[in-house]
Amino acid sequence: MEKLRNKSEFNLSAARLLIDKSLFAPSVHCSYYCCLQLVKVVIFTVLGQDQREFEATMARQGGKSHRYMWDSIKTAIAERRNRQEEREASRKFKDLKTYREESDYLDIEVDHSKGEKAYAIALELKNIIQKTFYS
């Protein structure tokens, strides 16, 4: 899982570089995947879920595999922190996912503001995940 953790860091760095180069849509994509990859690391290294079983379940999710991944850690966030922090983290993840879907799939402009918001959310989620599972 160390390679996936590294990819998460690479995506966060790439998001910042892309924002600085005014490439906002791909920066949102990178911000989102930074968090999703970190969630996957937690699922296997901290929560100890079996990777084959998890991947099989995700394949059956019918397009909702990213939601399934978040749902796999949100209960642990509530238990290790509190329910309020879990709700806040879940809202942030949902917002980031919405930004990513708009950025990747819709015929809309993704501007500096949205790129920066997605990046800020990614930093906040990364901090919540690290504080919850690695402190």
Q: Domain 2-133 classified CATH 1.20.120? A: yes
Please state, rounded to an integer, the average pLDDT across all residues of the chain. 95
> What is the model's pTM?
0.94
d(CA 122, CA 128): 10
Paired tokens of 115: 């790129």
- pLDDT class for 57, splitting at 50, 70, 90? confident
Please check the confidence at residue 86 and state whether its pLDDT lies above 80.
yes
> Scanning the structure block, which residue is given the tokens 């991947």?
55
Transcribe 86-122 into DSSP letters. HHHHHHHHHHHHHHHHHHHHSSS---HHHHHHHHHHH
Q: What is the pLDDT of residues 97-110, one digit of tens each?
A: 999 999 999 999 99
Tens of pLDDT, residue by residue over 6-47, are 999 999 999 999 999 999 999 999 999 999 999 999 999 999
Report CA-CA distances (Å) from 47 to 69, 77, 97, 103.
12, 11, 23, 31
